Each structure stands twice: as structure tokens, then as C-alpha cells.
Amino acid sequence: MNHKDALLIGIDVGTSATKVVAFTRDGEPLASVSREYPLSSPKPNWAEQDPDDWCKATLGALKEISTKIDPNRVAGLSFSGQMHGSVFLDAKDQVIRPAILWCDGRTARECQLAIDTVGRAEFLKTIRNLPLPSFTLPKILWLREHERANYKKLRTVLLPKNYVAFRLCGAKYMDVADGAGTVMMEVGKKRWADGVLEKLGIDPAILPPVVYSTDVVGGLSAAAAKATGLREGTPIVAGGGDQPVGATGMGVFEEGQVMISLGTSGVVFAPTQKTQTGGEQGLASFDHAVPGLSYLMGCVISAGGALQWYRNTLCGEEIAEAKKSGRDVYDLLLEAAAQTPLGAEGLLFLPYLMGERTPHNNPNARGAFFGLSMRHAKPFLTRAVIEGISFALRDNLELVKKKGVVPREVRVTGGGARSPFWLQTLADVFGVAVRPIENPEGAALGAAILAGVGTEVYKDFAEAARLAIHPKPAVKPIAKNVKMYNGIYERWRALYPATRNLLIEH
């Protein structure tokens, strides 16, 4: 097959849906299909899914895709997947119980048990992170404690997209970019942490072989080929977790580049050549999907979510105006905010509406407007919200810089990347050039790039970035604004410590 004619398929196994996209070598999406499935919450704070729903969605989407492309041109397929979720298989490779997902919060007790048993210092030394309820390790401990009969059946633990791959080609594996988030793998060393597992009484035999995200793990089985219409033996490349694969799709795989994803939450993702220690102040340190790299990652829980709350709660007039004019309500709000002075005349906003992960790691943190005066009309409040979210993201960048990783360019995706006002605010708050990346297909493009590198459609990631990723011009910081924001940021940083002791725990 001529590589120039090759097609690559990216499969993004998400929490609400699986998205399958077929791309040309130049990153052009030829066909895109999404299939949704339910999420179950049988008890408060629980989140579960039937792994077979992921498989049915993937097979159905691939079958539809195969009718829109030439299957013989498909050089390979790969995966992005929701991280940390646990799929428990028995000796016959049957699913024992519904998968426990990343957003499940039942395992706080098991996290503390793991830290008490292994030791905080040992976790940070060996695995470079501490267990959190979203991670996989405490889910295994929960199964042992609360569903003993199911635990006795347990023979294999897989992550969501790895289970889908197993069903497509029969290979059991764990890639380093997703496996690091189990907090059972030695970050940067491509192996399970046998000493930690031994202390916890977990048999390492339940964990599959470790591979790189670009490794070819098998070929499409005859049964899967028949079900999908794709060619039997089509190479399947390992893939990785949604965050590192999403960063791959944005071309963020060099130290000095940073990805910021402005969704409901705000994720700050920074590749690094040096294996770093996470675990402190909500900062994680995992392996990248690009072999040989690690990454630091922080999370602002309410980024776009805080702006959405503000819109829904205080902006009824603007919502009505947007419907009448056929415009986006966020465009109306941010255009008005852009006409107000930088710093909103002293008004500050803390975006901690659902607690905060990085840097405070406090589920009881809460939001606030501070410094209100009679002069503060709604556009001032809007600016304060945008600045407050941007300052919270800078908190994450400051932690990254403390680890010795100096950002030279920040690539931004998500809803906020469409706003010139917000992009300029980010550039001025960070003091670093900000470059928006349009990637409507999300992590599926990153998965396709992994498939291309793994099957040598691209000779390396640099070629993949040159051909398949199309960044827009950078928004550069304005020197006088950077200076002003540096002072406002220090004042903003002082607000949370000053009010923390007044918060009511829930």
C-alpha cells in the first residue's frame, strides 16, 4: 500500500460515547461515527458501565465507517480511551461485573489503606503518584473487600479501550500511557511495580503485558472483520489514555509545549523528558503516548463549567438576546467583557464551584466574587470569571515550572479557544504565546496518529505533526498586560488562603 493513499482509523472510547473517525494521512476526516451508551449509578457516588456496550458501539461504528471508505486502504487503527476504569475478567475472559469508572468515588477508604500499607514515600518513589479514587488500584482493593466472590474469580484487569482491543484482536495488553494511571506501574520504566503489589497482596499475574502506545498488538480477527466490514488482519496499534492521546492529536509531544483543554474542567498537560514526581497538590505524573516522554498534568475542576454556571444563573437576558439574534450567548458575553478594563476594576473571582484538584486538592473549596462595587455591571463580572479561570490555570502552570518544565508555547483546545478575548487573556496571564488548535474530532486524531506511527505510515511524530495537525497563528502576550496581570495574580492567589477557614465542609 502506498503510504500517501493510506487511511488511519482512530477510536475514542469515551464515557458517554465511542467515536470512530477515518482520516487521510494528511489528517482530513473522511468519515466520523459516534455511538452513545448509558452510564449507571446504582448507589450515590458510584459510576459503572457494561464493557460490552463499548464493544457494541465500536463494532457498529466501524461497520458504518467501512461503508464510507475503502477498507483495503486502512493501514491501521488505534485507540484513545477513558482512563482508570476497571474491567474485571474471569478465567474464561468473561466480564465479572460492570466496570467501575474514572468518575466513581467509592474508594476513598481503599486509597488511604493503600497509602498506609505501602507508605506515602514508597508510592512517590516507585510509582511517582499517590492513589486517588479515580485510579484503578483502589478499585481492585474495593473488589477484594466488598465483593469477595467476584474477586476470587478475577484473572485479568484491563482498562476500557484495552478491553475493546482485546475483543477486536484477542490481545491482552496495557500500554504505558494508560497503565501509568492505574498507580500500579513504575512511571518511565515500562513495568509493573511488583514490590508495591506484593505489599498490597495483589497477584501481578492479573495484569497484562506492558507495551508502548505505538506498538502493533495484533491484527483484526476474522470475526471482527466480518462484523465490521474491515479487512481481516488490519493492524491494531495499542493507543493510550484520552489525555495523552488528545495531546498527541494537538502536536503536544515536546518538552516546552503545553496543552490546555478548556472543557467543563480545564486540563493542563505538559510533556517532559525527565520522569517527574506527581502526587502533590493534585499534580499527576504519567507516561506520554509518545515513547520516551512523561507528562505532568493538573486539573481545574470548574473551568468552562464555571462560565456555564455564570451564564445559566445570571445571564437570562443575554440568553434571550442570543436566541432572538441567532448568535452564541458566550460570544455576546465575552465581547461585552472585552470592553471593560483589564482586572475588572479590582473584582476577583474564584472558580472553585465543585471544589478544586490542582493545586489545592480540596473537595470543599468554594467559589466567590470578591471586591464588588456599585460600578461593577455584568460585563465586569464576566471579565472577572474569565480572569479567575485563567489564574486557576496559571496555578497549574506554576507547579509545572517548579518541576523545571518551562513553557514556550501553550496550545489551547475546547470552547474557549474560539474566543479572541479569552485567548489574549490567557497569553497575558501566562506571559507565553497561546496557539489555538482546531480539532473537532478530539482524541480520535491522536489515536489515528499513533496508528500511523505504529504502522510506519509516518516515519515519526514530527512528520505526523507536519502533515496532520494544522495550528492557527499564535496569540502573543502584550508586555504591559503581562506586568499588570502579574500583580493581580498575586492578589488573586491570596484570596483562597484568606477565606479557606471560613468554608463549610459538606
Distances in Å between the alpha carbon of 396 and those of 98, 142, 241, 444?
34, 31, 20, 26
**Is residue 301 very low, low, confident or very high in pLDDT (cuts 50, 70, 90)?**
confident
Q: Is residue 107 part of a domain?
A: yes
Assess whether 204 and 142 both reside in one domain.
Answer: yes
- Look at residue 471 in the predicted model and tell me its pLDDT: 84
- Nearest residue to 443 (alpha-carbon basis) of 271, 277, 263, 279: 263
- Nearest residue to 22 (alpha-carbon basis) of 66, 55, 54: 66
Q: Is residue 392 part of a domain?
A: yes
Assess whether 77 and 155 both reside in one domain.
Answer: yes
- Look at residue 285 in the predicted model and tell me its pLDDT: 85
Assess whether 455 and 485 both reside in one domain.
Answer: no
Assess whether 315 and 417 both reside in one domain.
Answer: yes
Q: Is residue 176 part of a domain?
A: yes
CATH value at residue 381: 3.30.420.40
**Is residue 264 very low, low, confident or very high in pLDDT (cuts 50, 70, 90)?**
confident
Assess whether 318 and 415 both reside in one domain.
Answer: yes
Q: Is residue 332 part of a domain?
A: yes
Q: For residue 15, which phi and psi values (nearest 5 degrees)?
A: -80, -30
Contact between residue 430 and residue 477 where contact means Cβ atoms under 8 Å apart: yes
State the residue range of the domain holding 413: 304-436+476-502
State the residue for C-alpha cell 506511527: 453
Quote the percentage of the chain above a pLDDT of 90.
74
Contact between residue 403 and residue 272 where contact means Cβ atoms under 8 Å apart: yes
Which tens digits make up the pLDDT trace of 40-54? 889 888 889 999 999
Contact between residue 79 and residue 213 where contact means Cβ atoms under 8 Å apart: no
Contact between residue 386 and residue 337 where contact means Cβ atoms under 8 Å apart: yes
Is the predicted pLDDT of residue 427 greater than 90, yes or no?
Answer: yes
Q: Is residue 278 part of a domain?
A: no
Rounded average pLDDT over 398-412: 92
Assess whether 169 and 222 both reside in one domain.
Answer: yes
Between residues 73 and 103, the one the model is more confident about: 73
Euclidean distance between CA atoms 338 and 317, whole angstroms: 18
Assess whether 200 and 217 both reside in one domain.
Answer: yes
**Is residue 281 very low, low, confident or very high in pLDDT (cuts 50, 70, 90)?**
confident
- Look at residue 506 in the predicted model and tell me its pLDDT: 53
Assess whether 365 and 486 both reside in one domain.
Answer: yes
Between residues 418 and 95, the one the model is more confident about: 95
Assess whether 460 and 497 both reside in one domain.
Answer: no
pTM of the full structure: 0.86
- Look at residue 316 in the predicted model and tell me its pLDDT: 94
Assess whether 342 and 484 both reside in one domain.
Answer: yes
Assess whether 147 and 13 both reside in one domain.
Answer: yes
Q: Is residue 341 part of a domain?
A: yes
**Is residue 279 very low, low, confident or very high in pLDDT (cuts 50, 70, 90)?**
low
- Look at residue 283 in the predicted model and tell me its pLDDT: 84
Total domain count, the chain: 2
Is the predicted pLDDT of residue 277 greater than 70, yes or no?
Answer: no
Assess whether 168 and 134 both reside in one domain.
Answer: yes
Average pLDDT, the chain: 92
- Look at residue 410 in the predicted model and tell me its pLDDT: 95
Point out the residues that are catalytic: 242
Rounded average pLDDT over 335-357: 94
- Look at residue 364 in the predicted model and tell me its pLDDT: 80
- Look at residue 276 in the predicted model and tell me its pLDDT: 65
Contact between residue 443 and residue 80 where contact means Cβ atoms under 8 Å apart: yes
Q: Is residue 207 part of a domain?
A: yes
Q: Is residue 454 part of a domain?
A: yes
